[in-house]
Chains A and B, each alone.
Chain A
Amino acid sequence: MELLIDFLQNTGFAMADYRNLVMIGVGLIFLYLGIAKHYEPLLLVPIGFGILVGNVPVFKGLGLGIYEKGAVLNYLYFGVSKGIYPPLIFLGIGAMTDFSTLLARPKLVLLGAAAQLGVFLTFLGALFLGFVPREAASIGIIGGADGPTAIFLSAKLAPHLVGPIAIAAYSYMALVPVIQPPIMKLLTSRRERLIKMSDPREVSLQERILFPIAGFLLCCFLAPAALPLLGMLFLGNLLKECLVTDRLARTARTAVVDTVTIILGLTVGASTQADVFLTAKSVGIFILGACSFMVATAGGVIFAKFMNVVSQDKINPLLGAAGVSAVPDSARVVQMVGNAEDPSNYLLMHAMAPNVAGVIGSAIAAGVLWSFIG
């Protein structure tokens, strides 16, 4: 009888409190959004299920919880806490990205830079709200709209906030088609939205091979702290473009990135336990995260309008929104908003340039913040 009572007392039913149930509800919402609504399912399904995994109450000391040394989940979480997984994902991203539109029209790179305003203004906003500098920097990087970068920086600077920051970042990336269009329409006139861009020039293979090498050297000499992320990004891209390592490139953008995404999503979700997530700080993180996306979008669009003032070669200011580096979603949003005004105005290709520049920009921003505050 005592044995039975002991057993029952060790079940999750006996140990659960309302906070576990709330977090399980959050996990179920993520699964619903990913599976039924098709919002970024490759991210939300592992994260959602990870939240379920992390919020099943377990008896501490048995080596089951993600924060317990020796637990399987703890070993898997090592890649998050030590910043191993994000660079591996960047390897895959580099291997699946075509930088030719950026090479054809280099000035669009600046739109990727302008969108990083969201990172630094959110950093200031987080300080204003009372977050310590390490936390504020980790929250600010949400504005870079890059999940791996956000996880990488918060793992280095504020590991206790990895869960809420990752969830905020990925949630808002999934909501880019909802967040961006109203801001884009508010800040641009119909006439500006109708601007058509000339087709970009042909980019040679030699340029596409030279770019990852030159880009890596330049960016990492400037911001060495961005080395893990940008090094892997440019390596992946070089593997793709040089044509002699096609097998490696294919593996990087398929098996490697998919494996790491599953483990990263699962462990980040599992790390989001009630006592960390259900706090006033998380509310602040979510509010600041939304603001950072909006500011980043506005920053890119406004800078594009500024470029039109100083330059004779006009660019469609909607492209500024693509500086938010949710690739390729924000580029698709630009295409969608431009297409609504003029179905013959094809902006997707042009939007890919600031979109991929934003990935580089957010990695540099992360490196800068880490070097200042780390």
Chain B
Amino acid sequence: MGGFSAINAANGWLIAALGISVVFFGLLSLAFIVSYFPRMIAWWNAHAKAPKYFVPWVKSLISQPLAKPTSSKATVQSVEPGELDDAEEALRLLTAHMGEPFKLPRLIEVAEQRGLARVHSTINGLLIKGTMVGGPDGLFRWAIGSERKSGPQGVEVSRGST
């Protein structure tokens, strides 16, 4: 059997209506009682003898002891200034072919293919120095003189330890 006759035979309409009503009533009642919690608790705290150690006890459970500090194993290797200048020159030659602005991952890929050593840290050094800058469009270019003085755009530079 199917169709509306099946629903009627099984009292489906009544079950569905009662069912959703019970769910609504139950959760509505729950919401109503929960909305009175702050008042109930305030009354209890004001009129009942709350254990005087309750709050400090809870605080002691919640607070966590600080862990022993661990030393960082960071070894950020920087490129020597002389090496950076040489590498900059090589990269400029590459970007002369690629054009500006250029895609940085592509520059890295081409530089590695050409056998340039430590391309990643070289580029990192150039970005921090402000020689190379990233734009808001995700493309990179070489900084002109005035930009280098004012700082790089679109690149976040660490100004010292945290």
Contact = CB atoms under 8 A, between A and B. Distances in A.
B19 A109 contact: no
A121 B13 CA distance: 9
Contact of A361 (B16, B23, B35, B62): B23
A357 B34 CA distance: 12
Contacts of A222: 22, 25-26, 29
Interface in B83-134: none
A210 to B, nearest CB: 6
Interface in B1-56: 1-4, 6-7, 10, 12-13, 15-16, 18-20, 22-35, 37-38, 40-41, 44
B31 A127 contact: no
Given A207-B38, A218-B26, A116 B31 contact: no
A128 B18 contact: no
Interface string B57-79: 01001100000000000000000
A368 B44 CA distance: 34
A69 B1 CA distance: 34
A206 B38 CA distance: 9
A23 B4 CA distance: 34
Nearest to A108: B31
Contacts of A360: 27, 30
Given A123-B15, A136-B10, A222-B22, A113 B28 contact: yes
A127 B19 contact: no
B55 to A, nearest CB: 9
Interface residues of A, number: 46
Among B15, B16, B23, B26, the one with the most A-chain Cβ atoms within 10 Å of its Cβ is B23
A205 B58 contact: yes
Nearest to A204: B41
Contacts of B58: 205, 243
Interface stretch (A50-58, A99-107, A147-155, A179-187): A99-107
Nearest to B62: A243
Given A127-B6, A204-B41, A218 B29 contact: yes
A210 B12 contact: no
B65 to A, nearest CB: 15
Interface in A317-364: 357, 360-361, 364
B31 A107 contact: yes
A121 B22 contact: no
Contacts of A364: 22-23, 26-27
Interface in A242-272: 243-244
Nearest to B24: A113
A223 interface: yes
Interface string A205-236: 11100110011001100110000000000000
Interface in A170-215: 204-207, 210-211, 214-215
A365 interface: yes
Contacts of A204: 38, 41
A127 B12 contact: yes
A129 B10 CA distance: 13
A133 interface: yes
A310 to B, nearest CB: 14
B2 A121 contact: no
Given A372-B18, A372-B19, A123 B37 contact: no
A130 interface: yes
B150 to A, nearest CB: 29
A211 B37 contact: yes
A365 B31 contact: no
Nearest to B15: A372
Contacts of B6: 127-128, 130
B20 A117 contact: yes
A368 B37 CA distance: 27
26 contacts: A103-B37, A109-B28, A109-B34, A113-B23, A114-B24, A116-B20, A120-B15, A120-B16, A120-B19, A123-B16, A127-B7, A127-B10, A128-B4, A128-B7, A130-B6, A136-B12, A206-B41, A207-B34, A210-B40, A215-B34, A219-B26, A222-B29, A357-B27, A360-B27, A361-B23, A373-B15
Interface of B: 1-4, 6-7, 10, 12-13, 15-16, 18-20, 22-35, 37-38, 40-41, 44, 58, 61-62
Interface of A: 102-103, 106-107, 109-110, 112-114, 116-117, 119-121, 123-124, 127-130, 132-133, 136, 204-207, 210-211, 214-215, 218-219, 222-223, 243-244, 357, 360-361, 364-365, 368-369, 372-373
Closest 5 CB pairs of A and B: A130-B2, A106-B31, A120-B16, A113-B27, A109-B31
